[in-house]
Structure 1
Amino acid sequence: MKANRTSMLKRDTSAQVGIGTLIIFIAMVLVAAIAAAVLIQTSGVLQQKAQATGEEATSEVSSNMKVLAAEGIRDDTTDLSDNIDLLEVQVSVSAGGSAMDLEQMVISISDGDTTNTLTYNDSANLSDSSFRAEEIRDEDDSFDNSTNPVMNKGDLIRLYISTTNEGDKIIDSQNVSTSNLVLDPRTDVQLTFTPESGTPQQMSFVTPSSYGVDKRLSLYP
């Protein structure tokens, strides 16, 4: 009888140990599941941050703007001017680029002796400190040079830059003031377009050796 009691007691102890082990196992599984959920959530957040950082970096190292062409206009109020008095530059959003707010863009132009820094101002005369723009093609009919000068994909925009070294005048329907630049024949001209985001876009050309009797001169490309 005593032996039977001892045997039963041993069996009861084994059962308790088994239940304890099961509880520990379940706890370990729960901890592992919680840890896995935290890791998955953290990896998702990190992936989103990495993607956003990558897109921002791509925007910073790529140019949003493409320069297509540039023409020089000579004043012909009386006789044809000896110099180029107005610069017209056609631009668009580059492939893969994003919309560009021209009010946030800065243009630098130099004739080798004088350098002007220009910002967008649709209400002022073109001068040594301002440029303006008009749409040639507006894909979604959203561009407004007064209230919304934002260039979207598919748009074709013309920028106007004063290059005259004389007084106020009207050239090609644009009110132009002196820029102190002198774009006579064989002038090396450098322009830099710096948008709000993306790398600056540079353009350079040398004016023709002779202007002849042409009012409009193709300068770029």
Structure 2
Amino acid sequence: MYSLNDQAPDDRGQVGIGTLIVFIAMVLVAAIAAGVLINTAGFLQSSSQATGEGASDATSNRLQVVSATGTDLDDNSVGVVSLIVKRGPGAGNVDLATTTIQWVGPTGSFYQLAADQTSGNPDGRFTVSTVQDEDGSNPVLNDQQDRLKIQLELGEGDGENILSGGDSFGSELGEGETATIRITTASGASTSQRIIVPKTISGTSAVQL
């Protein structure tokens, strides 16, 4: 005999089954939560990796200007600016066909200069020619020894295009004038070059800027 306060064997079985159901439910909830956390962690890791790679490209895939010269010296002014460029230290391949240039000069600013034969309607177009390129990769700088020449023709509306494939823009640079050129690669890395025309350029065919 057992008292009224004692549980019957059937009641004990029901309590055990209920506890088991609760335990299984808790395990399932924990498993689902763990799966969500793992997926979220993987997504965040991928996003942070992509962001890091993009930031790295934007700081490392830069161009380096080796020299800057001015030619087409009519009326004591520079009509063509030429930049010899190479890959910056530690940079990957740089495609000048997808590179843009900004020009800030004494008579105006031009924020979208594109390579010749590219689509769109830029403010002007620059040409790219080979100086040193053993494997013929122009317009891509794929070796630290590669040297390519970027040429900008100044003097929009002068009725004469000196550079084949290039579109002139702005105004020619007179003696003593300065301008700033910003070259931005497809990865977002930028290189700035300030050019200064000598105070006297008469009697010469080219000047160092």
Return the letter of the residue paired with 1:121: D
2: CA distance between counterparts of 1:38 and 1:169?
62
1:93 is the counterpart of 2:87? yes
Aligned residues: 198
Residue by residue over 1:43-67, the C-alpha shift from the partner in whole angstroms, topping out at 9 and shown as x without a partner, is: 2112212332444455567773332
Aligned-pair identity in percent equals 31
2: CA distance between counterparts of 1:183 and 1:169?
16
Structure 2 alignment gaps of length 5 or more: none
Q: Report the alpha carbon displacement of residue 133 of structure 1 after superposing the two structures with TM.
A: 0.5
1:142 is the counterpart of 2:137? yes
1:106 is the counterpart of 2:106? no
Equivalent of 1:32, from 30, 33, 36? 30
1:208 is the counterpart of 2:198? yes
Q: Report the alpha carbon displacement of residue 160 of structure 1 after superposing the two structures with TM.
A: 1.3
1:187 is the counterpart of 2:177? yes
Aligned equivalent of 2:124: 129
Aligned equivalent of 2:68: 70
8 Å Cα contact 2:82-2:152 kept in structure 1: yes
Structure 1 alignment gaps of length 5 or more: 144-148
State TM-score, norm by structure 2: 0.68
State TM-score, norm by structure 1: 0.65
1: CA distance between counterparts of 2:8 and 2:202?
116
Report which of the two structures shows the higher radius of gyration computed on alpha carbons.
1
Report SS of the residue matched to 1:68.
Answer: strand
Closer, same or farther: CA 33–101 of 1 in aligned 2, 3 Å? same
2: CA distance between counterparts of 1:164 and 1:38?
61
Report SS of the residue matched to 1:118.
Answer: strand
1:159 is the counterpart of 2:150? yes
- Please report the RMSD computed on the Cα atoms of aligned residues, expressed in angstroms: 3.9
Q: Report the alpha carbon displacement of residue 97 of structure 1 after superposing the two structures with TM.
A: 4.7
